[in-house]
Amino acid sequence: MPRRVATITLHTSPLDQPGTGDAGGMNVYVAEVSRRLAAAGVEIEIFTRATSSDLPPVVEMAPGVLVRHVPAGPYEGLPRDELPGQLCAFSGAVLEAEAHQEPGWYDLVHSHYWLSGQVGSLARMRWGVPLVHSAHTLAKVKNAALAAGDRPEPAGRVLGEEQVVADSDLLVANTPAEAGQLVDLYGADPARVTTVSPGVDLGRFQPGDRRVARRRFGLPEDGTVLLFVGRIQPLKAPDILVRAAADLVAADPALRRSLTVVVCGGASGNGMGEPAALRRLASVLGVSDLVRFLKPLPPDELGQLYRAADVTVVPSHNESFGLVAVEAQACGTPVVAAAVGGLPTAVADGRSGILVPSHDPADYATVLRRLIAEPRYRAALGRGGVRHAARFSWQHTADGLLDGYRAAMRSRSGHLAPV
């Protein structure tokens, strides 16, 4: 049982609001599992890059969970593409923090995303402790399924991921599909790969009164509401939902009187897919009057928004898991999602939602047209979504990580002394 874990999440903080910049499901993941690991008696210290001079050096996020803001590069205006240039400064600060503690302060390093993995590899060697790594997304997978107009991930990231895979004592995959990608695309040793699915806060995301939820956001109580939640970027493909809505009203003009498309999210950290571009697309397609934009919401309000929707649409070109899909299902809202990455795990096709085997807006319109026309079928999928989401919990995720930590510590014991 590890006493203390150094968690590295260089490019985004668990304190950031998901849905904008570089903050997303990974932020939720780190925050939720850290709280539960701490409740199990494991102290967690999270190292993340400071993005403001106003941030205190250390913040207690929860009992037993500290967030350390590490100065590395300019506080603001540094895009993720330029973060590799700050790896040396960030790594030095992490090693210095450990140097001020007693020897053997950390029992294990858990890095999230490939940039953090580079730092974790150095800490592993310096401290003589196991490195557990969660990729969350993989460059080779993203480049194989690029959205139109999206930039491919650079060769430097591919090389960096290969190095982290080779250095890690344990690789944590979100789904069996991701585990297979680590083995097949990156040459990972299957014996060093474990699958631990992310979870959902079932106490927060649960069914509720749809009419109350709609009144909260000023949505029509008797209309049809289609929802997208996530960063507005080509990878997440909110444009597919907007185009599908245009197809729906073109085929049935009467639907225009009752249809609302809600897009909840902010601009991506890579600067692509600004909300203004999505607004222009809606205007060009003649559906500006149907599309409503909301800023990213805190969890309690997000749960209300899921409950307000008839269907949540997740048309991403790639997802390592699909946290939005599970949260929506936990609230009793069926999901229409792309059949990519981890979404076939997050969504039970035909039982909690519908998986679409393409990114053609016409195919999404076909599925959505049926769900709009058949409220009983939609309700049955909603009930199935609640049952399916109950399989995922953050406690189960934390327990799986603890098992992985113990295995990594056993296999590492005595193999490497601190430098």
Length of the chain: 419
| Of residues 109, 114, 111, 53, the one with CA closest to residue 80 | 114
> Which tokens belong to 46?
């999270």
Q: How far is CA 304 from the centre of its chain?
A: 19
| Of residues 178, 183, 166, the one with CA closest to residue 121 | 166
Q: Residues annotated as binding site for Mg(2+)?
A: 306-307, 309, 333
Bridge pairing between strands 259-264 and 224-229: parallel
Axis crossing angle, helix 238-251 with helix 361-373, rounded to the nearest 10: 60
Q: For residues 208 and 283, is the Cβ–Cβ distance under 8 A? A: no
Q: Residues annotated as binding site for 1D-myo-inositol 3-phosphate?
A: 11, 22-27, 80, 113, 137, 157
Q: DSSP class of residue 86? A: G
Kindly give, in sequence order, each residue whose CB lies less than 8 Å from that of residue 292, ignoring residues fewer than 6 positions away.
260, 261, 262, 263
Q: Residues annotated as binding site?
A: 11, 17-18, 22-27, 80, 113, 137, 157, 231, 236, 306-307, 309, 319, 327, 333
> Which tokens belong to 313?
């649409």
> Which tokens belong to 230?
């996530």
60 backbone dihedrals φ, ψ, rounded to 5°: -85, 105
Kindly give, in sequence order, each residue whose CB lies less than 8 Å from that of residue 402, ignoring residues fewer than 6 positions away.
1, 37, 40, 42
Burial of 81 (0-12, 13-18, 19+ CB in 10 A): middle
Using CA atoms, how far residue 251 sits from 102, 242, 371, in Å, is: 69, 15, 15
> Which tokens belong to 284?
């060009």
> Which tokens belong to 266?
């902010």
Burial of 220-241, coded b for 16+ CB within 10 Å and e otherwise, reads eeeebbbbbbbbbbbbbbbbbb
| Of residues 138, 102, 97, 99, the one with CA closest to residue 117 | 138
Q: Residues annotated as binding site for UDP-N-acetyl-alpha-D-glucosamine?
A: 17-18, 25, 231, 236, 319, 327
Residue keyed to tokens 């903080």: 13
Q: For residues 242 and 31, is the Cβ–Cβ distance under 8 A? A: no
